[in-house]
Amino acid sequence: MGLNEKPMHELIRLLSVKEITIREIIRDLYRAIEERETDVRAYLELSDPDALLKEAERAKDLPLKGIPIAVKDLISTTGFRNTCGSQFLRDFRPTFDATAILKLKAAGATILGKTNLDEFGMGSSTENSGFFPTQNPFDLERVPGGSSGGSAAAVAAASAICALGTDTGGSIRLPAAFCGVVGVKPTYGLVSRYGLVAYASSLDQIGPLTRDVRDAALLLSIVAGHDPADSTSAAQGNVDYTQGLEAELKGIRIGIVKEFVETLSGKASALSKKWQEQFQQLGARFEEISLPHSKYAIPTYYLISAAEASANLARYDGVRFGHRESDESVLTMYALSRDAGFGVEVKRRIMLGTYGLSAGYADEWYKKAQGVRALITQDFQRAFQSVDVIMTPTSPTPAFKLGEKIDDPLAMYLTDQFLVPASLAQLCAISIPAGQIDHLPFGLQLIGDRFQELNLLHAAFAFEQAWS
């Protein structure tokens, strides 16, 4: 087994006892990248291996010992472009590091490269990248999920040890599930959004994509915590999320969502019964819960996220940064630059969002969606009075084929149906690999109440250890 296939916590241990060197880790990583990258295409930009090694050697006395981490190309990282998967920003070089990146570097991580994504995070398959689609390492004819598809595919192909992604409405959890890796969407406000290019600011969160739950807990412990540079950052974090992972699970109450169960395919339902048995053997108790407003989650999410996106993306006008098409007059320049720089899906979202917010329509669309968001949040609050975590499949099906849904935006949006309710309610959630359907990885999602990451990771860890 190459060192690139091992989890980060194991590599840290081996480095500490001097059984391996960081040079060997980097060598194995680049070997895998050489072998897999032409097919998988997870990266938009890679570090130079010699420069990376030098940096890693400088970090050898810090907790992460120089271990290279892949970063979604939506998070500002000095030394790399930050394209956001968009032609608009294909040459954009950020001048500062996001807080999450600063924290990683301070803990001794190095940056391996920037990973592919759906443009500005808008998509569920990475096919909306303005550069090229990423392929699923398990089956190159299939999508890796999105929008953090490059990060998930890199970890799954062992061309990264772990990665950062971002999740607005499922973009860490879905690719984690499709690629058979672990992905955590932290509670809104737990990880600073400073330096994360905004898609939908009331939903966006940075989180880890890793080989196992312990690595996810480790990375989360590093990137979480209050940041005065982000006004929505919570006074939370500074917690070691790896603590207590091994404790017994006994007594945990797990909710099963009545409305979701009714929609499951035969195969997904059979697998989720097995998950339930596994958790019961670990001492968990199950309870059926109801999230009656979750059936409105997809329209609510796609209205609110598009509305916020239309406002956030107004800054790309060809003036300050990014693509500039013509300068005949200011208005033509805006129009031509935006037309040439943005892809089809981004334009669709901007138009939907602008419509939903426009005078005369905002009450009917945007304000109504905000009302439904409050109802969805209340459903969860009620549920968390009787259960500790909620279990669902991460997605209705395993990874679909490239091209299968690209011309049908509604079918694409429905991929997120089990994911967006927790996003709207700003809760924490994790996807862990839990069996296969049709020989493809299938993910189990656990949703926890706000800032209950310790509980969530504890349950996920216990399951991961027991499940075979």
CB nearer to ligand GLN: pick between 78 and 377? 377
d(CA 115, CA 19) in angstroms, rounded, equals 30
d(CA 247, CA 29) in angstroms, rounded, equals 33
CB nearer to ligand GLN: pick between 165 and 435? 165
CB of 396 to ligand GLN, least distance (A): 14
CB of 50 to ligand GLN, least distance (A): 34
In this structure, are residues 195 and 76 in contact, taking their beta carbons and an 8 Å threshold?
A: yes
- Residue 15's identity, in one-letter code, is L
- From the list 6, 47, 65, 72, the catalytic residue is 72
Q: Which residues bind ligand GLN (CB under 6 A)?
A: 121-124, 147, 167-171, 199, 305, 416
Closest residue to ligand GLN in the complex (CB): 171
Beta bridge partners of 252: none
Q: Which of 230, 329, 278, 270 is nearest to 446 (CA)?
A: 278
d(CA 193, CA 173) in angstroms, rounded, equals 18
Q: Where are the alpha helices (DSSP H) in 1-120?
A: 8-16, 22-40, 49-58, 99-106
From the CB of residue 381, how many other CB atoms can be counted at a distance below 10 Å?
12
Neighbour-count burial of 439, counting CB atoms closer than 10 A to its CB (0-12 exposed, 13-18 middle, 19+ buried): exposed
CB nearer to ligand GLN: pick between 171 and 452? 171
- From the list 129, 147, 395, 423, the catalytic residue is 147
Cβ neighbours for 403, distance < 8 A, ≥ 6 positions apart = 127
233 given a catalytic annotation: no
CB nearer to ligand GLN: pick between 131 and 467? 131
Residue 179 region by backbone torsions, left for phi larger than 0, else alpha for psi between -120 and 50, else beta: alpha
CB of 15 to ligand GLN, least distance (A): 33
CB of 52 to ligand GLN, least distance (A): 28
CB of 80 to ligand GLN, least distance (A): 20
72 given a catalytic annotation: yes
CB nearer to ligand GLN: pick between 387 and 429? 429
CB nearer to ligand GLN: pick between 383 and 420? 420
How far from 315 is each of 54, 310, 322, 424, CA to CA, in Å? 37, 10, 10, 24
CB of 144 to ligand GLN, least distance (A): 13
Active site residues: 72, 147, 171
